[in-house]
Amino acid sequence: MAITPYVVRRIGTGNNNPDIENFDVDASQTIATGNFVVVASGLLQPATSSTTGEIVGLANFALENGASATTTKDYPVLLAKNSVIRMNFTNAGTKKTFTTADLYGSAYGLSDANTLNPDDTTGGFLQVVGFDNTKLTVDVVVTAAAQYLV
């Protein structure tokens, strides 16, 4: 069963509340709650399978906007910095499961805005820190080099 990615816990902070920042959204974007989002020219867009960096975090809103960018900074994002994020992974490719040897090692990319692609380690930015092969979920951290807000 597919899940919406969410913050499981914070790392190195005194509380478990994720940091939230509000953004404007680029024109002609469809963003769902839980999508990984990136910034291009200061405006949010959903992450894609070709995303290799500048992850902001997880969208805490849903929006399907028109041909104009938003300029109200009303769109909250749960920042990826210092967060462990639980998300689904796809088992449609060659790599279908994770083992303890995969923990804290390779950095993986996305197959869409909210699913980890275990076969994509070129330009990856998600490090696996936990997994459940039965539920097809992984707990990940966004590598420091790929964090937009530090």
Q: List CB contacts of 67: < 8 A, sequence separation 6 or more.
A: 27, 28
**pLDDT value, residue 31:** 94
Q: Which residues contact 134 (CB under 8 A, 6 or more apart)?
A: none
- CA proximity to 64, closest of 38, 36, 26, 111: 26
Letter for the amino acid at 85?
Answer: I
pLDDT of residue 1: 65
DSSP characters over 72-89: S--EEEEE-TTEEEEEEE
Q: Give the pLDDT of residue 149.
A: 63
Cβ-based neighbour number of residue 132 at 10 Å: 12
pLDDT above 70 coverage of the chain, percent: 91
Strand, helix or coil for residue 146: helix
- Mean pLDDT (the chain) is 89
Work out the angle at residue 111's Cα, subtended by the Cα atoms of residues 75 and 129, and round it to the nearest 5 degrees.
85
pLDDT in tens, 19-64: 889 999 999 999 999 999 998 888 999 998 887 667 899 999 999 9
Backbone angles phi, psi at 100, to 5 degrees: -60, -25
Q: How much is the average pLDDT of 80-106?
A: 94
Tell me the C-alpha distance between 143 and 95, whole Å: 21
Enclosing H/E stretch for 49 = none
Q: Residue 16's Cα: distance from chain center in Å?
A: 18
Q: Which residue has the tokens 């804290």?
A: 104
DSSP code, position 67: S
Please report, rounded to a whole number, the percentage of residues in the chain having pLDDT higher than 90.
57
* 107-144 confidence digits (pLDDT tens): 999 999 999 999 999 888 899 999 999 999 999 998 87
Residue 6 pLDDT > 90, yes or no? no
With cut-offs at 50, 70 and 90, classify the pLDDT of residue 4. confident
| pLDDT at 148 exceeding the cut of 90 | no
The yes-or-no verdict on residue 94 having pLDDT over 60 is yes
pLDDT, position 150: 44
